[in-house]
Structure 1
Amino acid sequence: MLTSTQAILEKAQRYGYAVGAFNLYNLEGAKAVVNAAEADRSPAIIQLLPQILRYGGVPLIALFLEAADSASVPMSVHLDHCEEADVIAMCLEAGIQSVLADGSKFSYEENLAFTREMTVLAHQQGATVEAEIGRISGTEDGMTVAEKEAKMTDPDQAKAFVAASGVDFLAVTIGNVHGKYHSAPRLDFDRLARVRQLLDIPLVLHGASGLPALMIQRSIELGVCKFNVNTEVRQRYLEFWREYGKTGSQTDLLDCQKAATGVMQEVVAQKIRLFGSAGRA
């Protein structure tokens, strides 16, 4: 059932678990998330990036919205990492429940002005806004932030930003990265704890692919109730097609699509259980 992202995350925050937000590209991905969420009676969030939207357009949004609405568990659709006002406006008009108005590459003042403007726009249409303070390093789907450009979230600045912008959720940067971790992850939990002390809105952690279970659990204890997942699901999908290309054992395309859905569903299910949202629908 199509549900507001705010309702999904506020419930997660209240009961001490997190919800997986899965970046998707096609019908197989949507079915994988819906199937896994229904099987484990878990809420879930479907996400799409502007790069994918340029390829699939409004029909892709409609596909994801229909998939979420057809599910027997609460689901929403979220626009991830968007710095273009016209794209955000288009997605809100198409019915998306929430957006990440990403001004993290701008100066603090520019980020605040952009985020405030997008928050007013989203709230007028009954949608909610995620913002990002600090900047996450890494590469994902053609979006690269060099390590030298990354900046961790300043807790006091985050408090001021949220108060001035009116955003609904905040993505924090505490050592997490987009894409692969090329060394053992090191998250600054003291920084996260300070942010949690200063803010009562739901917190978001990007770059959840590859984080150990103990780090996930500690993040949840300190207020993270949305984890973004892309790399592991996407890689499993690509691995399936590479393996299929080598063997050619299946000749029916529909059978291949079902199998590809199944391998992604396994990864989604693992994340749902790791985040503690199983049985919370």
Structure 2
Amino acid sequence: MLTSTQELLETARRNAYAIGAFNVYNLEGVKAVVEAAEALQSPAMLQLHPSALKYGRSPLVALCLEAARAASVPISVHLDHSTSAADIQDALTAGMRSIMADGSPLPYAENLAFTRDMTALAHRYGAVVEAEIGRISGIEDGLTIAEKEAKMTDPDQAVEFVAATGVDALAVTIGNVHGEYKSPPRLDFDRLARIRQRLSIPLVLHGASGLPAEMISRSIQLGVCKFNVNTEVRQAYMATLAGQVCGDDEQDLLDVTQEAIAAMRSVIMEKIRLFGSDGKAHQHQTPYAAMLLHAQT
């Protein structure tokens, strides 16, 4: 069932688990996420990076929305890391009701202004808005952010930012990175605790690929209720394709795609269990369409 991101995050926060937001690029990725969520009776999020949106445009959005509607578990569809007002408008027009307005590459004042404007726009569509202050290092979908450019989220600044922009969720930078961790992760949990004490909105942690279980658990205890996952799922897909293409020349195309879906599904199921959302689908019983109808009456 297509469900509001806000409902997913608020329910997860109340019940001390987190929602997995998995980046998808095509039908195989969408099927892997939905099948994994259904197998474990878990809520989940289908997430499109701007590069995926540029590649698939409205047909890919329509695919994600229809897959969410047809799923037997709560699923929301989210635009990740968008720095473009035009792309955010396109996503909203195409039916997406959850977006990340990412002004983190900008100086703080410009980030605030961009996020405030995009939040006002998205809220006119009834959409949920995630934003970010601080900047996460690493590589995702070809975008590189050097360690020297990364900046931790300041707790006091976070309070000011949320109050000024009206965002619904905040992605925090506490030592997490996009892509692979080149050394053992070191997260600043004291910083996370201070942010949680000052803010009541849901907190998000990007760069969950490669984080050990104990760090995931502690982050959830300190208020994180959404984890973004991309790298490990994408690697499973690419490794399977490489192995199959270089193997049997007579392998059927659908057999290859089924293998790729199975490999991604396995990674996603592992993450769902790690985030503690398995078996929690029954806690999310309000389809998004019903929520919209209720809001209009």
Shift of 1:51: 1.0
Counting only pairs closer than 5 Å after superposition, residues 10-25 of structure 1 correspond to structure 2 as 10-25=10-25
* Structural RMSD (CA): 0.8
SS of 1:261's equivalent in the other structure is: helix
Q: Is the 8 A contact 1:204 1:224 kept in 2?
A: yes
Shift of 1:245: 2.1
Q: Give the match for residue 36 of structure 2.
A: 36
Q: Give the match for residue 93 of structure 2.
A: 93
SS of 1:129's equivalent in the other structure is: strand
Q: Give the match for residue 151 of structure 1.
A: 151
Q: Is the 8 A contact 1:244 1:250 kept in 2?
A: no
SS of 1:3's equivalent in the other structure is: coil
SS of 1:174's equivalent in the other structure is: coil
SS of 2:105's equivalent in the other structure is: coil
Q: Give the match for residue 47 of structure 1.
A: 47
Q: Give the match for residue 192 of structure 2.
A: 192
Q: Give the match for residue 267 of structure 2.
A: 267
Q: Is the 8 A contact 2:97 2:125 kept in 1?
A: no
Shift of 1:246: 2.3
2: distance between equivalents of 1:129 and 1:203? Answer: 12
Identity of aligned residues (%): 67
User: Is 1:114 equivalent to 2:114 in the alignment?
Assistant: yes
Q: Give the match for residue 180 of structure 1.
A: 180
1: distance between equivalents of 2:124 and 2:56? Answer: 26
Q: Give the match for residue 228 of structure 1.
A: 228
TM-score (norm 2): 0.93
Shift of 1:177: 0.2
TM-score (norm 1): 0.99
What is the identity, as a one-letter code, of the residue corresponding to 2:56? G
Q: Give the match for residue 239 of structure 1.
A: 239
SS of 1:103's equivalent in the other structure is: coil
2: distance between equivalents of 1:56 and 1:33? Answer: 18
Q: Is the 8 A contact 2:13 2:223 kept in 1?
A: yes
Count matched residues.
281
Cα offsets for 1:12-58 (capped at 9, x unmatched): 01100000000111100000000000010000000011111111111
Q: Give the match for residue 137 of structure 1.
A: 137
Q: Give the match for residue 61 of structure 1.
A: 61
Cα offsets for 1:203-246 (capped at 9, x unmatched): 00000000000000000000000000000000010000111122
2: distance between equivalents of 1:240 and 1:219? Answer: 31
